């Protein structure tokens, strides 16, 4: 039996609404995780460079462990495994919010934060060491020198890799469907199960992911070109 | 803490039910990654060379392929092959086969970009000198450019292999019995040690990936030193 394509079905009516709901969830979970992973990544990077052995060691372990294990296993760990070791207050809080969504955010944040920390570290290394020495000599503390002198320059350098990390995060957010967050991929899968029109649903979902990626990378190219022209 | 659950199932995590049953666990993950990187290397090499071609009918399709794959989540690619294969071929493939095909297709786009970056980072004089000596474009590519470019790119290939090893965990979603799947199986069967199980499985992935990442760092310094000496 040949496959009958029915595009109307997946872009309108109930299934169309599902796709839109899924997209909104994907954007929400990605947006929150992007903000949090930026904070976590910056903190981990500063700890790694702080010259305080215990802090350095904690940050190193965090970065290496989370970069070298699959995100899917991390998601399962946070969702199934973490409650036995987390404090009761955290577990109680997780029960009051949408637990799947919260675990998805935590997993994406920790995973991407480790990558951002490494990107930021290479950005900081690209800045001449004398910058830090000069600011320390002017009487700024390590944290002040980082916050006012080093980090603003480093972030400007790492904008392109940072954006591709964010794009990776949006793509990786598709994995949260495994713990039941109703994101775009989950909805496409759902339409497949309900209406047996998986190909159309996956096409639409793929096109949405693709256009997010293309729009963002195109804007970055434009931005880069403008910055390069301005620098010239 | 129920570490005995992990201990009793450790061989299941490592190689599944083998030899009494099908292979699974970490061995399956590594086999899938090896098969994936082998296929993705050749496909990616082909696409990367096409992407560098001066002929637009070779360059444009390669570019579209790379952009589409790199803009799509791996999970989508896996679903594509899982649900598309029966429609195209009239019968469904075994799960692990469609997972490996999806991994090859996905990773080849990233390999193509590595190949491209490697070729572009070579001095232009290499190409000009080889063409000047009378070699054709294809001969220059095969005998002069690619051997150098691929050698310089070995660390990137190792890193890509690490990503691929982590990506094999997604085959769990279509039911391939690799390491992540065995973990969820043991977890639902025992129901009392999720923390211990997932920490152990993460540690198993970590050992494989961390060793390879370190290897790639070592290789990178070595290759840099080798090149610095040559100049």
Q: Which of B173, B196, B201 sits opposite A73 (nearest CB)?
A: B201
pLDDT of the residue at A231: 64
Question: What torsion, rounded to 10 degrees, do the Cα atoms A54, A59, A62, A65 define?
Answer: -90
CATH number, position A189: 1.10.3720.10
Q: What does the alpha-carbon distance between residue A29 and residue B169 come to, in Å, rounded to a whole number?
A: 21
**Which residue, among A165, A160, A140, has the nearest Cα to A150 in the 3D structure?**
A140
How distant is the Cα of A75 from the closest Cα of chain B, in angstroms?
10
- Report the range of poorest mean pLDDT among A140-144, B90-94, B118-122: B90-94
Residue A23 near residue A212, CB atoms below 8 Å:
no
Mutation pick from A3, A67, A70 vs chain B, by most beta carbons of B within 10 Å, is: A70
pLDDT of the residue at A87: 87
CA B5 centroid distance within chain = 31
Q: How far is CA B5 from CA A64, A107, A179, B79, B191, in A?
A: 27, 25, 23, 32, 10
pLDDT of the residue at A232: 57
Contacts of B83 in chain A (CB under 8 A): 192, 198-199, 202
CA B75-B76-B78 angle, to 5 degrees, is 65
- Say if residue B231's pLDDT is above 80: no
The answer to whether the Cβ–Cβ distance between B68 and A210 falls below 8 Å is yes
The answer to whether the Cβ–Cβ distance between A76 and B184 falls below 8 Å is yes
- Say if residue A229's pLDDT is above 80: no
Q: Which residue range is the domain that position A213 belongs to? A: 7-231
Q: Which of B73, B172, B194 sits opposite A185 (nearest CB)?
A: B73
CATH class of the domain at B3-230: mainly alpha
Contacts of B166 in chain A (CB under 8 A): 68-71
For B124, the enclosing helix (H) or strand (E) is helix B124-132
Contacts of A221 in chain B (CB under 8 A): none
Count of CB atoms within 10 A of residue A140's CB? 16
The answer, for A42 touching chain B at a CB cutoff of 8 Å, is no
Mutation pick from B2, B79, B205, B211 vs chain A, by most beta carbons of A within 10 Å, is: B79
The verdict on pTM exceeding 0.90 is: yes
A121: which strand partners? none
Contacts of B199 in chain A (CB under 8 A): 77, 81
* Interval B34-59: pLDDT, tens: 999 999 999 999 999 999 998 999 99
Residue A1 resides in a domain: no
pLDDT of the residue at A3: 72
> What backbone torsions phi and psi does residue B23 show, to the nearest 5 degrees?
-70, 145
* Interval A34-92: pLDDT, tens: 999 999 999 999 999 988 999 999 999 999 999 999 999 999 999 998 888 888 888 88
- Say if residue A157's pLDDT is above 80: yes
- Residue pointed to by tokens 């790119």: B153
Residue B24 near residue B15, CB atoms below 8 Å:
yes
Q: Is B89 helix (H, G, I), strand (E, B) or coil?
A: helix
pLDDT of the residue at A14: 87
B25: which strand partners? B178
Q: Domain locations in chain B?
A: 3-230
The answer, for A153 touching chain B at a CB cutoff of 8 Å, is no
State the complex-level ipTM.
0.92
How distant is the Cα of A133 from the closest Cα of chain B, in angstroms?
27
Question: In chain A, how many domains are there?
Answer: 1
Q: What does the alpha-carbon distance between residue B128 and residue B212 come to, in Å, rounded to a whole number?
A: 36
Q: Which of B173, B198, B209 sits opposite A81 (nearest CB)?
A: B198
Residue A2 resides in a domain: no
Polymer length of chain B: 231
For chains A and B, CB pairs below 8 A equal 115
């Amino acid at each position: 039996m040949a496959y009958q394509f029915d595009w109307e079905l997946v872009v309108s009516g109930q299934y169309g609404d599902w796709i839109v709901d899924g997209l909104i969830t994907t954007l929400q979970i990605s947006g929150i995780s992007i903000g949090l992973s930026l904070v976590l990544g910056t903190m981990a990077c500063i700890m790694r460079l702080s010259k305080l052995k215990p802090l350095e060691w904690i940050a190193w372990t965090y970065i290496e462990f989370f970069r070298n294990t699959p995100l899917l296993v991390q998601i399962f760990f946070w969702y199934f495994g973490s409650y036995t070791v987390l404090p009761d207050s955290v577990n109680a809080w997780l029960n009051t919010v949408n637990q799947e969504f919260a675990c998805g955010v935590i997993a994406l944040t920790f995973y991407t934060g480790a990558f951002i920390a490494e990107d930021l570290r290479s950005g900081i290394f690209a800045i001449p060491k004398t910058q830090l020495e000069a600011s320390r000599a002017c009487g700024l503390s390590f944290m002040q020198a980082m916050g006012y002198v080093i980090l603003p320059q480093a972030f400007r350098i790492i904008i392109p890799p940072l954006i591709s990390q964010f794009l990776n995060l949006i793509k990786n957010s598709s994995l949260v469907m495994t713990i039941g967050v109703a994101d775009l991929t989950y909805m496409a899968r759902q339409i497949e199960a309900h209406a047996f029109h998986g190909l159309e649903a996956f096409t639409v979902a793929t096109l949405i992911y693709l256009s997010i990626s293309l729009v963002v990378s195109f804007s970055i190219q434009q931005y880069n070109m403008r910055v390069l022209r301005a620098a010239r | 803490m129920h570490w005995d659950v992990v201990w009793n199932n450790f061989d299941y995590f490592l190689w599944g039910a083998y030899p009494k049953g099908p292979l699974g666990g970490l061995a399956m993950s590594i086999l899938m990654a090896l098969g994936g990187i082998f296929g993705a290397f050749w496909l990616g090499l082909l696409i990367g060379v096409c992407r560098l071609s001066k002929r637009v009918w070779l360059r444009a399709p390669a570019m579209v392929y790379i952009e589409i794959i790199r803009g799509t989540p791996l999970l989508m690619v896996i679903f594509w092959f899982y649900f598309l294969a029966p429609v195209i071929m009239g019968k469904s493939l075994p799960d692990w086969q469609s997972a490996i095909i999806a991994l090859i297709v996905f990773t080849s786009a990233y390999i193509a970009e590595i190949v491209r970056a490697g070729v572009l980072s070579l001095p232009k004089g290499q190409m000009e000198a080889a063409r000047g000596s009378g070699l054709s474009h294809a001969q220059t590519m095969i005998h002069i450019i690619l051997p150098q470019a691929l050698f310089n790119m070995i660390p990137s290939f190792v890193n890509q292999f690490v990503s691929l090893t982590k990506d094999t965990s997604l085959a769990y979603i279509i039911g391939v019995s690799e390491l992540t799947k065995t973990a969820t199986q043991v977890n639902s069967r025992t129901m009392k040690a999720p923390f211990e199980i997932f920490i152990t499985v993460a540690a198993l992935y970590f050992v494989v990936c961390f060793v390879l990442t370190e290897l790639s760092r070592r290789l990178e310094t070595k290759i840099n030193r080798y090149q610095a000496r040559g100049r």
